[in-house]
Chains A and B, each alone.
Chain A
Amino acid sequence: MARVLVGVKRVIDYAVKVRVKPDKTGVVTEGVKHAMNPFDEIAVEEAVKMKEKKLASEVIAVSIGPTQSQEIIRTALAMGADRGLHVEVSGKDYELLQPVHVSKILAKLALDEKADLVILGKQAIDDDSNQTAQMTAAVLDWPQGTFCNKIEKTDSGLTITREIDGGLETIKTKTPAVLSADLRLNTPRYATLPNIMKAKKKPLKKVTPKDLGIDTTPRIDVISVEDPPVRQAGAVVADVDALIAKLKDGGHI
């Protein structure tokens, strides 16, 4: 039976309209509602389902970030993960922490914890990088199953259906492997109150990148973070004829 490591990231809640800081160094995060990255909820759900189907023996939830990341780990524990690992990185270091660093941390933890599968979300909705799973697989030299729509355990490994531009494709990978969850892999469950209470008692260990021997020196300088150009408000037309006239004016017909 497999041991599964799941990566969960604390991000600004998807429904929040983010605001760029006036000094253009980033977006405002203080006092803003945060939540688990939606793709990571799907990753946790998949891992917990594997455990329920007796395909996985243990699910370990990992989050890298400031102290508040522990809340996200608790959410994963309430969803059914067995124990948590918090890799503490805060302040400026966290602002400049990138998938290149995260993948090395996750790879180290995957080996330390003797994981057979690492399941991550396909992308975090804050930096929109879509890199960590691929990079973790590369660091470990494991196969990658990205943008998973369906994951099936076979005798020799995994059969994975992936979402690609023109439709779907199926690949087979050996295990151990790193997988990234796409939107339609599953529907994440809600954590029930009794499970939230139980999650408070589950073990949560804290480490630092230094403990793991991972260098988190920034690989980029942020030059600026700015608002996107604002579109000019358009006109609401009265009827279909007026709409067609506008399209003609614009040279679209």
Chain B
Amino acid sequence: MSRQLRVPDVKRINSELFTLTYGSLVAQLIKDFEDDEEVNKQLEKMGYNIGIRLIEEFLARTNTGKCQDLKETAEVISKVGFKMFLGITPTVTGWDAEGREFSLMFDENPLTEFVELPESHKQLRYSNILCGVLRGALQMIHMKVETEFVRDTLRGDDATEMRIRLLEILQDQAPPGED
């Protein structure tokens, strides 16, 4: 029996406003840090902080129950999560044998709509904030994951691919003190 994936109605804003705001954020970070790797790190960190809050909004709006396995989690991320917040549905693919790793392929990416990366920033992972968002959100529901853009059309690759690796399922915390 597969779960009904329902995307809730949410207030929408103009995606250009969003894209341009993100663009100026990245531009400012590049100015502040000058080093691409450091900018990647900062973007990931910001995404993480967004993710740990965003998951609450997501759960409150969608009423999603617990996922049975990572396959189901992946479906919900792409078909409900990305659909609800970014209006896109990345393709889930590239499972490893144990079902602990998968890829999200982005055919479209609202973050990069007006972006051209200059030669001098080949190390920049422009959409790295998304990695942080996923890591933060999944950590809040007890999944420790590693996320990384392994390919990016902005850097001249043929596709944009995010790799997600499940490291461990975190345990519920026992009450502090007495046992």
A associates with B:
no
B residues whose Cβ falls under 8 Å from a Cβ of A: none
A residues whose Cβ falls under 8 Å from a Cβ of B: none
